[in-house]
Structure 1
Amino acid sequence: MKMLNYGLRATLAMAAFAISLPAHAHITFENKEVKAGSTVKFVLRVPHGCAGSPTTAVRIALPEELTETKPQPKPGWTLDVTRIEAQGDGSGEDGHAAHGGHDDAVIKEIAWSGGRLEDAYYDEFVFRAKVAEDIAVAAIFVPVVQECEAGVERWIEIPSAGASSDDLKFPAPSIRILAGS
């Protein structure tokens, strides 16, 4: 009888754990840490849809600490970028000039749309960017809006100083910054 109770409790505990998994499956970066001043391939992981609904768009807002951004096109998805005028003189001296004929503009948002990522699957969305060399923060937060056929999830919460992203329901993906060499 004791064995049956133990087995039943173990089964119920595993079921409760499995049910709780989607609530903890946040959008994250593959990179956990990057060096200041380096150019990095950022891989954004989207592990699920919105409450079971397929993902149809992913939009990211780039913080000022990331420059010289180049998004990777994704087959089956439309890629759009939003640019703003650079703060420098366009010479590239300020570290904000982008390559590829857009020397007077900085990418501030990347959006992949028109695709369909079923809730049962995960996918990755990729861009390359240079991390500012003279960065004064310990981590970079990159707000993401995930649009689905039914619903939207805004992964935009940034913890206050000294707090943890673990305490947030919809934390923005983050990357720890290491001192450059």
Structure 2
Amino acid sequence: MTRSARAAAALGLAALLTVAGAQGAAAHVLLETATPNGDGTTTLTFSFEHGCDGAPTTGLDVTLPAGVEAVSTSQPEGWAAEQGPGAVRWEGTPVADGTPARFELVARVTGTAGQAFWFPTTQTCTTDSYDWIDTDPAGGHPAPSFVATTATLAPRPVALGGPGATSGPAGASLAQTLAAAAAASLAAAAAGTWYLARRRA
């Protein structure tokens, strides 16, 4: 690569990081961390530090994407959570603009490593609300999101007949295996009777 090409690439990377940083700073509701718990669940931490044009925040409605199932929640003091089909709602004592707040959702996440999960969210305030729903990072109101890793994904159940499963020959059922064993025993007995009869003759 020539010196001019390297310089252009460096400028392009710097511009990309600047845009990404600006988008991150502009987002009022973020999925701050996704921490695996070691039991097939992952703790997702949603956070914000700003209200709606200075108005305090009183509620947070998070839509769960396909592949994410809520298990339990936690929230700041004075707030309560409600879990519904495909959604979680937090509401409580107003959080002043500029005050950090964090909300934890323990969930089971199923999918593939490298898959992006988006959580369209509505931030409700005393006088207004913001919808953080853009699944395009370049959007003005990007939805909270994270990219799954093998550690944050719930283990897949072992299919019958798969690795670790036991079965009869060629995947035969127990009844088929017992029937085959009985038939083999009868055949052996018949062969023994025929052999003794020939010797006596």
What TM-score range do you get, normalising by the shorter chain? 0.5 to 0.7
- Structure having the higher helix fraction is 2
- Distance between the aligned counterparts of 2:132 and 2:27, measured in 1? 11
Normalising to structure 2: TM-score of the pair?
Answer: 0.56
Instruction: Count the aligned residue pairs.
Output: 130
Task: Name stretches of at least 5 consecutive residues in structure 1 with no aligned partner.
Answer: 1-19, 84-107, 160-164
Matches within 5 A, 1:22-41: 24-31=26-33, 38-41=40-43
Task: Name stretches of at least 5 consecutive residues in structure 2 with no aligned partner.
Answer: 1-21, 156-201
Task: Tell whether the 8 Å contact from 1:33 to 1:177 is kept in structure 2 after alignment.
Answer: no
1:109 and 2:87 aligned: yes
- Distance between the aligned counterparts of 1:33 and 1:72, measured in 2? 14
After TM superposition, what 4+ stretches of structure 1 lie above 4 angstroms from structure 2? 20-23
CA RMSD of aligned residues (A): 2.8
What does the per-residue CA deviation read over 1:123-167, in whole Å, with 9 as the maximum and x for residues that have no partner? Answer: 0011100110x43862100111000011100011112xxxxx1x1
What does the per-residue CA deviation read over 1:104-140, in whole Å, with 9 as the maximum and x for residues that have no partner? Answer: xxxx1111113211002110011100110x4386210
- Distance between the aligned counterparts of 2:25 and 2:69, measured in 1? 32
Deviation at 1:177, TM superposition (A): 1.5
Q: Tell me the equivalent position of 1:43.
A: 45
Q: Tell me the equivalent position of 2:109.
A: 131
- Structure having the higher strand fraction is 1
Q: Which has the higher contact order (CA 8 A, sep 6+)?
A: 1
1:178 and 2:178 aligned: no
Normalising to structure 1: TM-score of the pair?
Answer: 0.62
- Distance between the aligned counterparts of 2:69 and 2:34, measured in 1? 19
